[in-house]
Amino acid sequence: MADDATPPQPPAERPVRRPVPSAGDGRASAASSTSGTDEKRPPWYAPVGGFGVTFATQFRKVLTEEYPEKPRPTAPRYHGRHQLNRHPDGLEKCVGCELCAWACPADAILVEGANNDDTPISEGGQGRFSPGERYGRVYQINYLRCIFCGLCIEACPTRALTMTNDYELADDNRADLIFTKDQLLAPVQQGMLPAPHPMVTGMEERDYYQGKVTAASDEQRTWVAEHADEVTGLVGTEPAKPTDSAASRRRS
């Protein structure tokens, strides 16, 4: 059978309707009024009118921040530089589990754990730095990578790792922005003794987390006084640096 069907025709082009400016059209009226106003203004108006902004600004409240002389306080929960916390007797809360390093999406944290050693120092013992079985022997945070998301502090099972409000983390070289354990460790406060030293006699690890240890005991103080020379040089015994890290490192 012959194909007598009509071949398909392209659709007819529809006329485009363009809006016609009218007296009530805002755009048309604005354009016409602006051009009309400019035409009415004298030629000296534009340069003089520009200074109007300058004069008006002189009487506004000054917003200049006097930084770094007067650093502006942050919001209380601002995510700043990290801190490795201590128990009330000075032992470290970090148990070297590496959960913070695994949680970090930017791969900014390096942790190496080690066993606490209760062998007497005189017999080659390496000392006790935390109440549990292990402690964080190496701890580094690379602030060139850190995005301050806070996932590390959420992952920490012992609340060893928290974030401070310190935001002064700029520096002029890359190496100084890799913070080590001695920079991150919280300063030794009143009632504390710097690790290593034994746990409070009669207390277990869980007692530390239940808040039963409130300060270093006399027995611990005696031990530290007797072994002051021996513990110097053991891994992790460096005194903590001041917490205002970037500013203090620039001053030193």
Angle at 214 between CA 212 and CA 220, to 5 degrees: 105
Q: Residue 98 or 207: which CB sits closer to ligand SF4?
A: 98
Written as one string, the DSSP assignment of 29-83 is HHHHHHHHHHHHS-TTHHHHHHHHHHHHHHTSPP----TTTSPPP--TT---SEE
Sign of CA dihedral 81, 103, 136, 118: positive
Q: Are 118 and 132 in contact (CB under 8 A)?
A: no
Among 91, 99, 104, 146, which residue sits at the site for ligand SF4 (rule: CB under 6 A)? 99
Cβ-based burial of 20 (10 A; exposed 0-12, middle 13-18, buried ≥19): exposed
Sites for ligand SF4 among residues 183-242 (CB under 6 A):
none
Least distance between ligand SF4 and beta carbon 99 (Å): 4
Check whether 115 is labelled as a binding-site residue: no
d(CA 89, CA 193): 6
In this structure, the number of other CB atoms found within 10 A of the CB of residue 233 comes to 8
Least distance between ligand SF4 and beta carbon 136 (Å): 5
Using CB under 6 A as the binding rule, whether residue 100 contacts ligand SF4 is answered as yes
Q: Are 82 and 162 in contact (CB under 8 A)?
A: yes
- Contacts with ligand SF4, 58-97, as mask; x by CB under 6 A: ------------------------------------xxxx
134-142 and 109-115 as β-strands: parallel, antiparallel, unpaired?
antiparallel
Q: Residue 205 or 230: which CB sits closer to ligand SF4?
A: 205
Check whether 186 is labelled as a binding-site residue: no
d(CA 246, CA 252): 10
Sites for ligand SF4 among residues 104-133 (CB under 6 A):
111
- Contacts with ligand SF4, 153-172, as mask; x by CB under 6 A: --xx-x-xx-----------
Check whether 183 is labelled as a binding-site residue: no
Check whether 164 is labelled as a binding-site residue: no
Check whether 146 is labelled as a binding-site residue: yes
Beta strands in the chain (DSSP E): 82-84, 109-115, 134-142, 161-163, 178-179
Q: Are 198 and 128 in contact (CB under 8 A)?
A: yes
The region of 18-26, 39-47, 150-158, 211-219 touching ligand SF4 under the rule CB under 6 A is 150-158
Check whether 150 is labelled as a binding-site residue: no
Q: Residue 89 or 223: which CB sits closer to ligand SF4?
A: 89
Contact footprint for ligand SF4 (CB under 6 A): 94-100, 111, 136, 155-156, 158, 160-161
Residue ranges of the binding site: 94, 97, 100, 104, 146, 149, 152, 156
Residue ranges of the binding site for [4Fe-4S] cluster: 94, 97, 100, 104, 146, 149, 152, 156
